[in-house]
Amino acid sequence: MTNSKFDELRKKLDNESWPAIYMFKFIVPSDNHKIALIESFFEDDAEIKMQASTNGKYTSITIRQVMLDAPAIIEIYVKAAAIEGIISL
């Protein structure tokens, strides 16, 4: 899977030792369907924390999960990028 948008991230991740706990952070419009889609990308044992914005329009989602390698992380970011309105941090 080649995606130039993620080349810089891939280079950083290739310097890490795997498996390791990785933290994902997303901001998404507060829509239950979109939040459920993001949650579906992760294992049941992933640590997921959510925080609604002050006005409730957006939800910040922080997920910590043991990842096996850099391509697995990139795969999740590629899936997430397909969700309308999402911001990946």
Write down the pLDDT at residue 1.
Answer: 42
Distance CA 34, CA 28 (A): 7
Write down the pLDDT at residue 45.
Answer: 92
Neighbouring CB atoms inside 10 A of 68's CB total 11
Report pTM.
0.87
Digitized pLDDT (tens) for each residue of the chain, 89 residues in all: 445 678 888 888 988 899 999 999 999 999 999 999 999 999 999 999 999 999 999 999 999 999 999 999 999 999 999 999 999 98
* Burial class for 26, CB neighbours closer than 10 Å (0-12, 13-18, 19+): buried
Write down the pLDDT at residue 3.
Answer: 57
Place of tokens 């329009």: 57
The CATH code of domain 18-88 reads 3.30.70.260
